[in-house]
Structure 1
Amino acid sequence: MKWGYIAGIAASVVLMTLLEWPRLRQAKLRAAYLLLAISGFTLSVLLLAFPEMPGPTAWIEAVFRPVGRLLE
């Protein structure tokens, strides 16, 4: 059942890439798009496979909480 969801996520990423790729003329923009698309795909598949895993908000909070304490 999860394979269907993964196939849907992959199809969405491929469709978005096919639609956006011709508009991205610079190599830096293409690299940034690929990095974000691959990161988003990986995160969505991981959250699908491991639903109890903390999301990106929890990760950011864990990283920046000590920095926030230093700034106070």
Structure 2
Amino acid sequence: MRWGVTLGVTLLVLLIILFELPALRQKPLRDKIAFFSLLLCGWVLAQFDLPNMAGPVTWLNELFKPWGNLMKK
């Protein structure tokens, strides 16, 4: 796991919350839920190594490769 990236993104999320919290207190609950949901989604996506992950086609090829040998026989 990349601890430096995790720590850095977590610190950035905390800074965003600190800067936005005073303005967010005046907003309705629906806006607060949307803000924290989007922030959480961004934090979770930042934890993945997306540029170096295999795409869905690669995953499907690996999943169905054993079946391909059975179909050829």
TM-score interval for Structure 1 and Structure 2 normalised by the shorter chain: 0.5 to 0.7
C-alpha separation between the residues in 2 aligned to 1:18 and 1:2? 25
| Overall identity of the aligned pairs, in % | 28
Unaligned runs of 5+ in 1: 55-72
- Runs of 4 or more, structure 1, over 6 Å off, are none
Output the TM-score relative to the length of structure 1.
0.63
Give the aligned length.
Answer: 53
Partner of 1:52: 53
Look up the SS of the partner of 2:52 in the other structure: coil
Residue-by-residue CA offset, 1:17-39 (whole Å, 9 max, x unaligned): 11112111211111000000000
Output the TM-score relative to the length of structure 2.
0.62
User: How large is the Cα RMSD of the aligned pairs?
Assistant: 2.1
Unaligned runs of 5+ in 2: 56-73
C-alpha separation between the residues in 2 aligned to 1:46 and 1:4? 13
